[in-house]
Amino acid sequence: MAHTTRWLLVGEVARACGVSTRTVRGWVERGALACFRLPGRDGPGQRRFDPAEVRAFIARTRIPHRPEQDEILGPPTLEATP
């Protein structure tokens, strides 16, 4: 069965981290948080974030847990171990 990811919007990431959307965009510009960009009409479009990457970023940067995180990011995924 194929796994599908529900990609997050910049506002959802901001809410999960307790920061502004401008802060999230800054993290992306500095390379601290990965995202991909949808194609836009005149260049790069909207950003989309993988919930697993956002969880890893939160853990790396020690952002305090917020109740919204579980609702927005969903349950943590378990990586298969060899």
- Domain assignment present for residue 63? The answer is yes
Per-residue model confidence as pLDDT tens digits over 11-21: 999 999 999 99
Q: Give the total number of structural domains in the chain.
A: 1
- Domain assignment present for residue 1? The answer is no
Q: Which domain holds residue 23?
A: 10-73
- Domain assignment present for residue 40? The answer is yes
- Domain assignment present for residue 42? The answer is yes
The pTM (predicted TM-score) of the whole model is 0.82
Name the nearest CA neighbour of 53 among 29, 80, 28, 30.
Answer: 28
- Domain assignment present for residue 2? The answer is no
- Domain assignment present for residue 49? The answer is yes
Rounded-to-integer distance, Cα 75 and Cα 70, Å:
6
Per-residue model confidence as pLDDT tens digits over 34-52: 999 998 888 778 999 999 9
- Domain assignment present for residue 4? The answer is no
Beta strands in the chain (DSSP E): 36-39, 44-48
- Domain assignment present for residue 34? The answer is yes
